[in-house]
Structure 1
Amino acid sequence: MMSTIKHLVVHWFHTVSAIIFIHLGSCVTPSLIPELINDSHGHRQTNWTNTIACPKHSNLTHLKLLDISHNKFRTLFADVFRGLKRLEVLDLSNGHIKYIDEHAFDGLEMLKELNIENNQLSSIYLELFQSILNLSVLNVGGNSISHLTGGIFASMTGLRKLVLSRNRLISINDNAFVGLELLEELYLNDNHLTRVPSIALQSLKRIITIDMDANPLEQLLTGDFVHIPVNRISMANCKQLTLVDKGAFWDLPNVNTILLHSNPSLQYIDSQAFLGVPLLHSLQLHDCALNTFQHDIIDYVLNDQHIHSKHKLKITFQSNPILCDCNIQYLYQECAPKIVTIGKQNVTIHKKIGDRHVFQCKALGLPVPKIIWILPNEH
Structure 2
Amino acid sequence: MGVRVLACVILGCLALAVNCDEAINSTAAATTTTITTSKPIPYQDSNICKLCKCEDTKVDCFDQGITTFFTIKEWEDIIDLKPSTVDLSENRFTNITVIADLTIEVLNLSRCNIEYIENASFRDLQEMRVLDLSHNKLTSDKLSPHAFEGRYAPEEFEPLASMRVLNLAYNDLHSLNQDLFEHMPELEELDLSGNPLTTIDHVTLVAIASLPMLKVLRMRSCELDEIPSKFLHTPRYLENLDLSDNKLTAVPQELEEAKDLVYLNINQNPIVAIDVNSDEHPAFPRLRKLKELHMCNMPKLRTIGPMALAGLESVEKLHISFNPSLSYLDPKALARPDDIGETFDWPLVKELYLKSNNLTEVDTRLLSRWDLLEKVDVSDNPFLCDCSTQWMVDVLAPIVDSKGANATLMVCQEPIEMRGHTMKDLHDSHRTMRCVDKYGHRPEKDGAILLGTLIGVLLAVPIMLSLMLLWRRGYFAWLGLRPPADVSRAFYKRAPADDILY
Identify whether the pair has TM-score above 0.5, normalized to the shorter chain: yes
- Contact 2:242 2:265 survives alignment (8 Å): yes
SS in 2 for 1:289: coil
Matched, 1:119 2:160: no
- Which sections of structure 1, spanning at least 5 residues, go unmatched? 1-10, 339-360, 372-379
Given candidates 145, 156, 164, the residue that maps to 2:219 is 164
- Which sections of structure 2, spanning at least 5 residues, go unmatched? 1-37, 44-53, 151-159, 277-282, 337-345, 400-407, 414-418, 426-502
Give the C-alpha shift of residue 225 in structure 1: 4.2
When Rg is computed on C-alpha atoms for both structures, the one with the higher figure is 2
Matched, 1:110 2:168: no
Q: For structure 1, which segment, 106-115 or 268-277, has the greater mean C-alpha deviation from structure 2 after superposition?
A: 268-277
Counterpart of 1:195 in structure 2 is: 250
Counterpart of 1:278 in structure 2 is: 347
- Contact 2:259 2:287 survives alignment (8 Å): no
SS in 1 for 2:190: strand
Aligned length: 325
Matched, 1:263 2:323: yes
User: Is the alpha carbon distance of 1:63 and 1:369 closer, same or farther for their aligned partners in structure 2, counting shifts above 3 Å?
Assistant: closer
**Alignment partners' CA distance in 2, 1:13 and 1:145:** 48
Counterpart of 2:190 in structure 1 is: 138
Give the C-alpha shift of residue 144 in structure 1: 2.0
> What is the TM-score when the length of structure 2 is the normalising length?
0.58
Give the C-alpha shift of residue 234 in structure 1: 0.7
SS in 2 for 1:327: helix
Instruction: Give per-residue Cα distances to partners, 1:17-55, cap 9 Å, x unaligned.
Output: xx944443323344324525676443312221122232x
Counterpart of 1:83 in structure 2 is: 124
Question: What letter is aligned with 1:170?
Answer: D
Instruction: Give per-residue Cα distances to partners, 1:321-342, cap 9 Å, x unaligned.
Output: 122234334445544669xxxx
- Contact 2:194 2:222 survives alignment (8 Å): yes
SS in 2 for 1:66: strand
- Contact 1:67 1:91 survives alignment (8 Å): yes
User: Is the alpha carbon distance of 1:81 and 1:59 closer, same or farther for their aligned partners in structure 2, counting shifts above 3 Å?
Assistant: closer
What pairs up with 1:168-179 in 2 under 5 angstroms?
A: 168-179=223-234
Q: Which has the higher strand share?
A: 1
**Alignment partners' CA distance in 1, 2:246 and 2:334:** 25
Give the C-alpha shift of residue 169 in structure 1: 2.0
Give the C-alpha shift of residue 15 in structure 1: 10
Q: Which runs of 4+ in 1 moved over 6 A?
A: 11-16
- Contact 1:152 1:177 survives alignment (8 Å): no
**Percent of pairs with identical residues:** 23
User: Is the alpha carbon distance of 1:98 and 1:232 closer, same or farther for their aligned partners in structure 2, counting shifts above 3 Å?
Assistant: same
**Alignment partners' CA distance in 2, 1:12 and 1:102:** 38
SS in 2 for 1:226: coil
**Alignment partners' CA distance in 1, 2:237 and 2:285:** 18
Q: Which has the higher helix share?
A: 2
Matched, 1:73 2:114: yes
- Contact 1:69 1:95 survives alignment (8 Å): yes
Matched, 1:26 2:63: yes
User: Is the alpha carbon distance of 1:181 and 1:12 closer, same or farther for their aligned partners in structure 2, counting shifts above 3 Å?
Assistant: farther
Give the C-alpha shift of residue 369 in structure 1: 3.1
- Contact 2:88 2:109 survives alignment (8 Å): yes
Matched, 1:365 2:412: yes
What pairs up with 1:1-379 in 2 under 5 angstroms?
A: 20-35=57-72, 40-41=83-84, 42-54=86-98, 59-99=100-140, 100-107=143-150, 108-149=160-201, 150-199=205-254, 201-222=255-276, 223-276=283-336, 277-295=346-364, 297-298=365-366, 301-302=367-368, 311-312=372-373, 316-331=377-392, 334-335=395-396, 364-366=411-413, 367-369=419-421
**Alignment partners' CA distance in 2, 1:221 and 1:68:** 44
Higher relative contact order (Cα pairs below 8 Å, separated by 6+ residues): 1
Cα RMSD, aligned residues only: 3.3
**Alignment partners' CA distance in 2, 1:92 and 1:337:** 49
